[in-house]
Chain A
Amino acid sequence: MAFVKKQVTETVSEDERKQNRDCADLLVGLADANATTRRWAARDLVDCPGSATALVERLKIESEPSVREVILTSLTKLGDPSAIVGLVECLRSEDAALRNEVVEAMKQLPDDVAPIMQALLNDADPDVRIFTVNVLESLCHPDVEAWLIEVIDHDAHVNVCATAVDLLGEVGTQAAAAALTRLKARFGDDPYIQFAADLALKRINED
């Protein structure tokens, strides 16, 4: 036996991957029983403007991880308003894995999610607020530090504040120093907040 060469690569004969399919077919493929068909449909829908809503609806019920991952990549590449609305909806899902996947996707869309960040930071659900602070990490927005200061000054939930302090340790400037000190006083008996705020303050004061 030996090394062989064929005409470059396999031809794609399987019907799961028809070329030049139109968007309507792809939307049907998104609900196919075969996971590979769904995965390919989700990937090709990136070229179909307006498909974000259908992708989000599928995402909510899709159980095959490889299809979910491709749907999220396509939503990230689409990045249109309905993609954003859909991602935010999924942030409230009961499915922890989905929430984490959505945070990652939102981080890839910093400019598109920036306008809704403030509203999400005031969401009634502390988990949504924590996820929103996670998303802020990727945002190059002039107000990020001000939003974080607002969080550590006013958010009642210790874990939301803890997440914000973690990020201030990376992006914080002198402007955050007073708020960090106030936070230490507000959660005076919490050793983690003391540790994280001290670390952020140390870094800020070195600058």
Chain B
Amino acid sequence: MKTDAKMTQIDITDGDFEKFREYFYRKTGISFESSKRYFVDKRLVERIEATNSETFRSYFTMLRFQASGEELQLLTNLMTVNETYFVREEYQFQCLINSMLPEIIKRKTDQKPIRIWCIPSSSGEEPYSVVMYLLERWAGINQWDVEIISSDIDTGILQKARAGRYSARSVQYLPSHWLTKYFTKTGDDYQICQNLREAVEFTRVNLSEPADTRPYRNFDVIFCRNLLIYFDDVSRKAAAETFFDALNPGGFLCLGHSESMSRISSLYKVRKFPEAIVYQKSLEAK
């Protein structure tokens, strides 16, 4: 009988690292420099052990062919920092104010509201950030109505978003005068004000369910950040197609900073603005 001296050190060779790096880049568009070797190895070893894989090779095979794609999702989570807080990836809100909205208004022929869709809503930091940006930084708010819809599959998190109570950590990057203006300190937390809570419509939507997404139409801007990177290839392509139909011609789709449309779909035109790269449904598209 074997003794329990299993402690075999899992070693990631140069070749393993290269193979993993190429695969991960192909799937996600995220490319690790060799200087990130320690960071990557550490997480790979962690997952190899957690899945009871014997070797890197057996783990890698499982990762590539697992039908559910769950392991790739877990690993992507480990390899990317995903934290929700107010004004996260702020450059995109600046892009909204300085570049996208001016373009949208210029070609608008009616006085209907400008429509913005945030999905996933998560606990609400993103849609509320959009509201504050529009109020504080966009003169157009005096001339235009804006409709903000924020959707998530998780009804629990939607409750939290509607309630609008946040930790100090979550509001740490907000300008202090915005914090004073729009929040009330409640114990250790910060309660967002009623006006902001009323500015956002929260709805439950499963992005992969056509019956759910069917009524979502005529949006000018969609924020879908740090979600599709966790979907499998077919689901993320289908999601991009759903957004395409939800957008007005010329409408914009914003993805998260580690996400690229190059791994998802060829439906959109790449648009470079001074603040950010976003994706646009062509003006001619019906």
Contacts and interface: CB of A to CB of B under 8 A. Distances in A.
Q: Do A and B come into direct contact in the complex, CB within 8 Å?
A: yes
Interface of A: 1-6, 8-12, 17, 34-36, 39-40, 43, 65-66, 69-70, 73, 76-77, 107-108, 140, 169-170, 173, 202-203, 206-207
Contact of A12 (B64, B215, B234): B215
Interface of B: 13-16, 18-19, 22-23, 57, 61, 64-65, 113, 131, 134, 141-149, 198-201, 203, 210, 214-218, 233-234, 237-238, 241, 244-245, 265-267, 285-286
Given A12-B214, A170-B22, A203-B18, A4 B113 contact: yes
B145 A1 contact: yes
Nearest to A2: B145
Contact of B144 (A1, A40, A77, A207): A1
Given A36-B286, A73-B234, A140-B65, A10 B218 contact: yes
Contacts of B131: 3
Contacts of B214: 12, 17
B233 A108 contact: yes
A3 B215 contact: no
Given A4-B113, A140-B64, A69 B147 contact: no
B65 to A, nearest CB: 3
18 contacts: A1-B141, A1-B142, A2-B141, A4-B113, A6-B113, A8-B201, A8-B203, A9-B215, A10-B217, A36-B245, A65-B266, A66-B244, A73-B237, A73-B241, A140-B64, A140-B65, A202-B15, A203-B19
B57 A6 contact: no
B13 A5 contact: no
A11 B217 CA distance: 8
A108 B234 contact: yes
Contacts of B65: 140
Contacts of B134: 3
Contact of A69 (B64, B141, B265): B265
A66 B145 contact: no
Nearest to A139: B65
Contacts of B14: 206
A163 to B, nearest CB: 15
Contacts of A66: 241, 244, 267, 285
Contacts of A4: 113, 145-147
Which secondary structure dominates where chain A touches chain B? helix
A73 B217 CA distance: 20
Contact of B147 (A3, A40, A65, A173): A3
Given A3-B134, A3-B198, 4 more contacts: A1-B146, A4-B147, A9-B217, A207-B13
B281 to A, nearest CB: 9
A61 B163 CA distance: 52
B149 A9 contact: yes
A1 B144 CA distance: 5
A202 B7 CA distance: 27
A119 B216 CA distance: 45
Nearest to A16: B286
Given A9-B217, A69-B241, A34 B234 contact: no
Nearest to B238: A73
B210 A43 contact: yes
Nearest to B285: A66
B147 A43 contact: no
Contacts of A35: 285-286
Nearest to A107: B233
Contact of B267 (A12, A69, A169, A206): A69
B147 A5 contact: yes
Nearest to A3: B199
A202 B201 CA distance: 57
A60 B142 CA distance: 50
B15 A69 contact: no
B68 to A, nearest CB: 13
A116 to B, nearest CB: 19
